[in-house]
């Protein structure tokens, strides 16, 4: 099975926190947090259309400029989601530069900030010199009693968020594929059909919710031979595809270990395939971690265990442990595996 999301840390475990998620079958990517991100390079930064910010402490937001720079001059809408105050933060960043020569640029920046029960939005258009344009607020309802709410619903996936206590709200996110589409290559082969880009189109039709009687023409390439074929979506589904459980990725940074945060994190991370969780401190320094509103490696491991995740990735290590990254990882994994 080829997973639809391929995710990884942007930097080393001691570097600025952030996760990059490539979405297969579509040329886009999601970005969690905006710390230093030069390591991604312009192509990958450009592909990021939706960016989710935990909070705007410097190590989570200093990379905004890098994204802006590559996106400038592109016909693109950059969507940013995050904490109360994000619109002001973006406006402040934009005001740091002179914009007299961008009026022909088609870039728009769309900012959505989560306030208590309300989504506040604003746009900044390059063509208008990035002047602030506010949208009327809309209600933001929690999905259930757990305080987790949906922030982006796409035919292929949903992104949910929950506010954690970091002395300021710090948002944790989950990314869940609605379902996964597997292609049976053996059966395709038996039917004399080649694999190739046409299958991406088939997947797109399914993600977009096209009905089973949807008819379309696909271009197939078989050893340099090009052929146009007509298909009915439902028939392809029945013969060559299986639909299974989708992937789930969870991103948690900068939060204190307390009952409320723990309950929210465990509920958000439930059954995740990959759980990215900060673990800046060793348990021996738990008091320091609490004072600084951060987690220890053991706390990250215990929550991963409670949430029954498949994989735990710890990061955002404090520089005080430089050279002891292994100890942080070991402590987290021991707690995760129940050692």
Give residues in contact with Zn ion (CB under 5 A): 57, 59, 254
What Å distances lie between residue 273 and 58, 281, 309, CA to CA?
29, 24, 6
Nearer to Zn ion, 19 or 102 (CB): 19
Task: Give me the least distance between CB of 122 and Zn ion, in Å please.
Answer: 23
Task: Give me the least distance between CB of 316 and Zn ion, in Å please.
Answer: 6
| 187 vs 194: CA distance, rounded Å | 10
CB within 8 Å of 235: residues ≥ 6 apart: none
Nearer to Zn ion, 59 or 177 (CB): 59
* Orientation of helix 259-269 relative to helix 297-307, angle to 10°: 50
Nearer to Zn ion, 72 or 168 (CB): 168
Task: Give me the least distance between CB of 299 and Zn ion, in Å please.
Answer: 15
* Residues 207, 214 contacting (CB under 8 angstroms): no
Q: Which residue is nearest to Zn ion (CB)?
A: 57
Nearer to Zn ion, 168 or 263 (CB): 168
Task: Give me the least distance between CB of 13 and Zn ion, in Å please.
Answer: 13
Task: Give me the least distance between CB of 17 and Zn ion, in Å please.
Answer: 6
Nearer to Zn ion, 81 or 315 (CB): 315
Nearer to Zn ion, 100 or 322 (CB): 322
Task: Give me the least distance between CB of 239 and Zn ion, in Å please.
Answer: 50
């Amino acid at each position: 099975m080829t997973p639809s999301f391929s995710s990884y840390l942007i930097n080393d475990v001691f570097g600025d926190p952030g996760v990059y998620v490539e979405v297969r079958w579509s040329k886009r990517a999601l970005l969690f947090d905006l710390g230093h991100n030069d390591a991604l390079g312009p192509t990958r930064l450009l592909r990021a259309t939706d960016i989710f910010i935990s909070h705007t402490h410097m190590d989570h937001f200093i990379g905004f400029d890098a994204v802006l720079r590559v996106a400038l001059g592109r016909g693109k809408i950059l969507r940013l989601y995050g904490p109360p105050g994000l619109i002001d933060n973006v406006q402040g960043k934009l005001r740091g530069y002179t914009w007299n020569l961008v009026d022909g640029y088609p870039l728009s920046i769309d900012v959505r900030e989560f306030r208590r029960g309300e989504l506040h939005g604003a746009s900044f258009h390059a063509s208008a010199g990035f002047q602030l344009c506010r949208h009327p607020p809309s209600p933001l309802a929690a999905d259930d009693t757990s305080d987790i709410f949906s922030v982006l619903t796409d035919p292929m996936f949903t992104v949910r968020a929950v506010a954690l206590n970091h002395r300021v709200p710090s948002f944790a996110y989950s990314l869940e594929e609605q379902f996964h589409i597997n292609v049976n290559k053996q059966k395709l082969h038996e039917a004399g059909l080649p694999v190739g880009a046409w299958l991406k189109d088939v997947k797109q039709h399914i993600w977009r919710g096209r009905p089973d009687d949807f008819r379309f023409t696909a271009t197939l390439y078989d050893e340099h031979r090009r052929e146009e074929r007509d298909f009915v979506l439902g028939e392809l589904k029945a013969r060559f595809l299986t639909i299974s459980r989708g992937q789930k990725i969870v991103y948690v940074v900068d939060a204190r270990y307390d009952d409320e945060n723990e309950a929210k994190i465990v509920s958000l991370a439930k059954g995740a395939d990959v759980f990215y969780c900060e673990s800046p401190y060793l348990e021996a320094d738990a008091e320091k971690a609490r004072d600084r509103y951060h987690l220890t490696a053991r706390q990250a491991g215990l929550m991963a265990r409670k949430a029954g995740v498949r994989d735990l990735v710890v990061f955002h290590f404090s520089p005080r442990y430089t050279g002891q990254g292994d100890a942080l990882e070991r402590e987290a994994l021991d707690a995760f595996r129940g050692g």
